[in-house]
Amino acid sequence: MSVASVHTSGSNCAGQEWRRERQKPLNINRYGAFADLPDYTFLDGRRTPPGPNKVRRALKQQEYAKKIMQYVSEVDFAVERQDRLRRDEQTQREEILARKLKPKGQKHA
């Protein structure tokens, strides 16, 4: 058997177009009720512990949030720095204009 003769069956791709058209996830086990809801419930009303996939997703979301906060603070710093540099440049221009030659005294009429 050669590698060229291996084919993917149509059943592996079944439903993908339908899911894409309706903007559904390609893997139904990744998001939605199968992934988010617990497999069982306690009769006395206690909360079920989160599954490993839910914990992994929560940790990934925390990492994303940390990165977003870091990037936002970097952008804020860059904007503040740019504003400060513009103000300093404007102040320098005003000082240079103030030091330029001025007419001496007033003429008496």
Q: Quick: pLDDT tens for 26-68.
A: 777 777 777 777 778 889 989 888 888 889 989 999 999 999 9
C-alpha dist (Å) from residue 48 to 29, 30, 40, 60: 19, 19, 7, 21
Burial 72-102 (b: 16+ CB within 10 A, else e): eeeeeeeeeeeeeeeeeeeeeeeeeeeeeee
Tokens 């439903």 sit on residue: 15
102: helix, strand or coil: coil
Q: Does the global pTM surpass 0.95?
A: no
